[in-house]
């Protein structure tokens, strides 16, 4: 090892790089997993399952289950009627629950003003109610609130939070919903209670839009209640699914929610696609690292063994056993590991730590919308895996060449008869090299055929270098392609829902005059139904919609009505003449029927068409009516007819395209639709889309303006589309950084591999070169011979490398395409780069080695043995 410092250094570099990359991969996985677990706990709580709407007896039985390691109870106090609130907010009810001390520990309550309640007469109010929008509703910390507690009843049944507020004033109900629900509910008062407001909070994990009562949190104190929630933690998390099934059978009225967002990061969740993708990526990365590491380290030990074959033969002849010779080789490997693995562990941790400093905030913002980093988690399990894989890599690298010692006699070793094998016929042949390049080409060709084992090591090394680079490049390519396919971009920056706004013109003028807004696009949107014949549907279309009682099929439509100027711009962008649509008495629309659906066979999302129309088609649109008693369709109320005139590929920019991924979107001009506006004004949605480069500042301005005039206009109907797009773009940047670094490191391994193999093989041939120079070969002829040799194994390695990398790149394509649809393509660019790089590195290595040997003394080299 000390006599061959260059080879030892390259071998050490191979061990260090392999260990560092495996350490980086495993530590990154451990850090990301820890971050995802901690983020899920901080946002939604540290619980595995939740049983809701169970009675006192069922609660006690559940808490006594031996599989449950920890539980926390939340008892229902009841609904509190606050009639003044119903005039301003979505419902007149507050829903009060008493949290136990354990519940406060399991659930993250974001108290932005005040403190947690200490008993069941102290309450936390939702942030939505912190600033009253009507006289007499201004709540502050320390205020008392007198409420009439009671139950909500409908048809003699007690309603819960899972039941919508059955009242005509409920804005979340569609026409016909009340009949379907069985009429309007009533409130049964039971007692009057006074509570003290001790703070305001921002939301609960299970709260949702449209609930009958705003959730109010009271402190511990309730011992008995008609309805309970129980949060559960289990030592064996996987048993949560069997527990849910048992509860469904014993308590059919109860609901059981599993905290999948948390459990999936422990590897317990049902998200199989996520697990497949993560496992595939980890397997691909670690597999590539191991192949590269084994190639580099194996070549070093293999060359070392060839170099010392005669030495081993001499030692065997004087009594050394094969066990002692193998032990010497293993000692060399152990020495390299003893220094290389600790350096690799340290380098991998430092490298991934620095990487996380740069990409951690981007990933955190994309995953959870928070500007915080991902801290490096030094996991002993991850380090142990890295060490294990590094030892396996080195062990395989040593075991392959060491097999030769089993069947090697002392005389064979001294004569190198295992290395040099060739028939006399092959020696006499001139070959293609001789015909093309003369004497030097013939010598190069004979050298290759005389000692194929030595050249095979070089060809295998170069081939693996090409395969590694192309495979790693394909890995980057397909990850980026998958990311671009998943993350759609939006031309507009902000979306404002103006439905129900009385002063529409004033609201639009305010938006246009807001500082930082460059453009405001307005549209109306309407959701309607269409009774369609099956012959007008594609095979994908037949899977959508639902069947009517009379055998017809209902499909959802979304209509977007644009001002004529905006409609004309959209039509022209799609290559359609807008004059055919503008100002026509007959309604004509441009439709997009492209839906994104999961192929059950390939488990990939694909864009498919729903309609199979042969030219312009007349359709009748309206709303399906429902029979509340039988819960089925009863009649179709037609609104109007329109002609589906032209098909477009892209959605208008005045839409959030992701919302229309499973429906048909038809775009109409305002001048043609105007006759129907009055008829449909109650169900028309009004929307504005803003172009604002400084979107965050503009959004904050709008919210501040609304708060200044005590309005809720932009509190819940303002959506920052650009922020979501930027988060998606950030994750693409993260993918590029990680995969780019991976390709760089794999390229470094490949270069080190080539350099080590070629330079060492040349140094082993010093005596051979001295013989050729002693019989008169000139320096020019010597260079021609070596150039011809480079060409021989360079072309062979390129042929094998390109052939094998077709298969490996396809395997990478299959491993990265779970849930995403894109086509496989040959990695031409990476082939070109790898071929050029191989020839360049081979040439540079050859020049370096020849210059090192230029000053060798012929006599000294001939006397070497």
- C-alpha 374/C-alpha 439 separation (Å) is 63
Q: What is the DSSP string of 398-413?
A: HHHHHGGGGG--HHHH
DSSP letters for 250-274: H-TT-EEEE-HHHHGGGT-SS-HHH
Instruction: Specify the higher pLDDT residue, 171 or 381.
Output: 381
Distances (CA, A) of 246 to 50, 71, 263, 617, 773: 14, 17, 19, 53, 87
Output the pLDDT for position 19.
82
Instruction: Please check the confidence at residue 660 and state whether its pLDDT lies above 50.
Output: no
| pLDDT higher than 90, residue 122 | yes
808-821 residues labelled b (16+ CB within 10 A) or e (exposed): bbeebbebbbbbbb
CB within 8 Å of 791: residues ≥ 6 apart: none
**Percentage above 90 pLDDT, the chain:** 7
DSSP 797: H
pLDDT surpasses 60 at 760:
yes
| Euclidean distance between CA atoms 788 and 793, whole angstroms | 9
> Where does residue 70 rank: exposed (0-12), middle (13-18), buried (19+ CB within 10 A)?
middle
Distance CA 75, CA 97 (A): 6
Mean of the per-residue pLDDT values of the chain:
76
Q: Domain boundaries in the chain?
A: 1-45+275-417, 49-258, 420-488+723-865, 519-691
Give me the pLDDT at residue 268, please: 76
Cα-only R_g, the chain: 37
Helices 431-450 and 452-486, packing angle to 10 deg: 100
Ranking 145-159, 624-638, 650-664 by mean pLDDT, the lowest is 624-638
Angle at 529 between CA 524 and CA 535, to 5 degrees: 125
Q: Quick one: pLDDT band at residue 104, thresholds 50, 70, 90?
A: very high
Instruction: Give mean pLDDT, residues 814-825.
Output: 66
Return the pLDDT at 818. Answer: 57
Cβ–Cβ < 8 Å for 139, 130: yes
From first CA to last CA, the distance across the chain in angstroms is: 19
pLDDT at 358: 76
**Torsion-angle region of 550 (φ positive above 0: left; ψ -120 to 50: alpha; else: beta):** alpha
**Average pLDDT of 461-469?**
77
> Largest alpha-carbon pair distance within the chain?
116
**Is pLDDT of 93 > 80?**
yes
For residue range 391-443, list pLDDT tens digits in order: 887 777 667 656 665 665 656 655 555 555 555 455 555 555 555 566 666 77
- Residues 492-539 have pLDDT tens digits of 788 888 877 777 888 888 888 888 888 888 888 888 877 777 777 777
Q: So what's the pLDDT on residue 412?
A: 60
Query: Both tokens of residue 403?
Result: 């097999």
pLDDT in tens, 698-716: 888 887 777 666 565 665 6
Per the model's pLDDT, the better-predicted residue between 29 and 111 turns out to be: 111
**CA 647, chain centre distance (Å):** 32
Please give the Cα distance from 99 to 120 (Å, whole number): 8
Higher pLDDT, 677 or 284: 677
Of 389, 523, 320, 319, the C-alpha closest to 23 is 389
Q: How many angstroms separate the Cα of 750 from the Cα of each of 228, 282, 291, 453?
A: 62, 20, 11, 20
**Residues listed for the chain:** 865
Which of 182-191, 202-211, 784-793 is predicted with the least confidence, judged by mean pLDDT?
202-211
Residue 433 confidence (pLDDT): 52
pLDDT at 552 (0 to 100): 67
Distances (CA, A) of 377 to 24, 28, 41, 167: 11, 8, 17, 52
Task: Collect all residues with Cβ–Cβ distance below 8 Å to 598 and sequence separation of at least 6.
Answer: 604, 605, 819
**Nearest CA-CA partner of 97 in 177, 201, 181:** 201
Which neighbouring-strand residues pair with 507? none
Across 457-477, average pLDDT: 76
Q: Mean pLDDT throughout 183-200?
A: 89
844-858 mean pLDDT:
71
Closest CA relative to residue 557, chosen from 658, 401, 663: 663
φ and ψ of 676, to 5 deg = -105, -5
Q: Cα separation of 378 and 863, whole Å?
A: 55
């Amino acid at each position: 090892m000390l006599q061959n410092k260059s080879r030892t250094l390259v071998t050490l570099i191979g061990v260090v790089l392999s260990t560092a990359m495996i350490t980086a991969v495993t530590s990154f996985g451990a850090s990301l997993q820890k971050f995802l677990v901690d983020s899920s706990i901080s946002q939604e709580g540290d619980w595995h399952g939740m049983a809701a709407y169970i009675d006192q007896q069922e609660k006690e039985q559940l808490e006594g289950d031996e599989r449950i390691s920890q539980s926390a109870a939340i008892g229902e106090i009841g609904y509190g009627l606050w009639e003044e609130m119903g005039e301003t907010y979505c419902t007149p009810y507050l829903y009060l629950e008493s949290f136990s001390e354990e519940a406060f520990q399991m659930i993250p309550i974001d108290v932005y003003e005040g403190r947690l309640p200490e008993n069941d007469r102290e309450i936390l109010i939702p942030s939505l109610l912190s600033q009253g929008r009507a006289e007499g509703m201004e709540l502050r910390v320390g205020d008392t609130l007198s409420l009439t507690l009671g139950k909500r009843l409908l048809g003699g049944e007690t309603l819960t939070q899972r039941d919508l507020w059955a009242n005509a004033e409920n804005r979340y109900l569609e026409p016909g919903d009340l009949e379907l629900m069985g009429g309007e509910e009533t409130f049964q008062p039971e007692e009057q209670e006074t509570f003290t407001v001790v703070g305001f909070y921002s939301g609960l994990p299970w709260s949702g839009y449209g609930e009958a009562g705003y959730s109010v949190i009271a402190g511990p104190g309730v011992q008995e209640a008609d309805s309970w929630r129980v949060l559960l933690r289990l030592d064996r998390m996987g048993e949560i699914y069997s527990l849910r099934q048992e509860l469904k059978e014993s308590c059919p009225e109860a609901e059981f929610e599993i905290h999948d967002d948390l459990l999936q990061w422990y590897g317990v969740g049902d998200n199989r696609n996520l697990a497949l993708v993560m496992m595939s990526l980890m397997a691909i990365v670690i597999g590539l690292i191991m192949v590269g590491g084994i190639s580099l380290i194996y070549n070093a030990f293999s060359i070392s063994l060839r170099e010392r074959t005669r030495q081993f033969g001499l030692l065997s002849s004087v009594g050394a056993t094969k066990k002692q010779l193998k032990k010497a080789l293993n000692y060399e490997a152990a020495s390299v590991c003893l220094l290389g693995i600790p350096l690799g562990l340290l380098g991998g941790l430092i490298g991934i730590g620095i990487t996380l400093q740069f990409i951690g905030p981007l990933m955190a913002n994309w995953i959870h919308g928070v500007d915080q980093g991902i801290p490096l988690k030094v996991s002993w399990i991850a380090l142990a895996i890295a060490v294990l894989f590094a030892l396996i890599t080195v062990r395989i690298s040593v075991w392959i060449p060491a097999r030769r010692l089993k069947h090697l006699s002392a005389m064979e070793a001294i004569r190198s008869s295992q290395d040099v094998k060739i028939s006399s016929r092959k020696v006499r042949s001139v070959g293609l090299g001789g015909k093309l390049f003369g004497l030097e080409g013939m010598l190069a060709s004979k050298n290759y055929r005389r000692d194929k084992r030595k050249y095979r090591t070089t060809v295998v090394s170069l081939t693996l270098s090409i395969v590694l680079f192309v495979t790693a490049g394909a890995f980057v390519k397909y990850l980026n392609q998958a990311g671009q396919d998943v993350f759609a971009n939006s031309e507009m920056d902000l979306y404002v829902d103006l439905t129900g706004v009385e002063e529409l013109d004033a609201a639009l003028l305010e938006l246009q005059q807001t500082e930082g807004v460059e453009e405001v696009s307005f549209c109306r949107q309407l959701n309607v139904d269409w009774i369609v014949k099956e012959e007008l549907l594609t095979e994908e279309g037949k899977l959508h919609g639902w069947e009517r009682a009379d055998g017809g099929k209902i499909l959802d439509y979304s209509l977007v009505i644009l001002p004529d100027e905006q409609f004309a711009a959209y039509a022209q962008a799609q290559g359609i003449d807008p004059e055919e649509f503008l100002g026509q008495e007959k309604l004509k629309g441009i439709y997009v029927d492209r839906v994104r659906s999961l192929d059950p066979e390939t488990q990939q999302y694909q864009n498919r068409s729903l309609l199979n129309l042969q030219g312009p088609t007349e359709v009748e649109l309206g709303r399906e009516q429902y029979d509340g008693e039988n819960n089925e369709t009863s009649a179709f109320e037609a609104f109007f007819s329109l002609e589906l005139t032209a098909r477009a590929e892209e959605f208008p920019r005045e839409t959030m395209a992701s919302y229309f991924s499973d429906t048909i979107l038809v775009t109409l001009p305002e001048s043609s639709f105007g006759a129907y506006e009055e008829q449909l004004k109650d169900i028309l949605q009004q929307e504005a889309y803003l172009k604002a480069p400084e979107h965050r500042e503009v959004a904050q301005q709008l919210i501040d303006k609304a708060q200044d005039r005590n309005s809720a206009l932009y509190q819940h109907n303002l959506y920052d589309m650009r922020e979501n797009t930027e988060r998606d773009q950030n994750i693409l940047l993260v993918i590029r950084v990680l995969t780019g670094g991976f390709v760089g490191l794999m390229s470094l391994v490949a270069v080190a591999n080539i350099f080590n193999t070629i330079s060492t093989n040349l140094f082993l041939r010093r005596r051979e070169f001295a013989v050729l120079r002693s019989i008169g070969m000139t320096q020019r002829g010597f260079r021609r011979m070596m150039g011809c040799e480079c060409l021989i194994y360079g072309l062979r390695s390129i042929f094998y490398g390109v052939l094998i990398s077709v298969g490996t790149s396809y395997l990478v394509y299959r491993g990265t395409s779970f849930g995403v649809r894109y086509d496989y393509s040959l990695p031409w660019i990476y082939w070109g780069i790898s071929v050029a790089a191989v020839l360049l590195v081979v040439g540079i290595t050859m020049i370096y080695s020849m210059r090192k040997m230029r000053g060798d003394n012929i006599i000294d080299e001939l006397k070497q043995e």
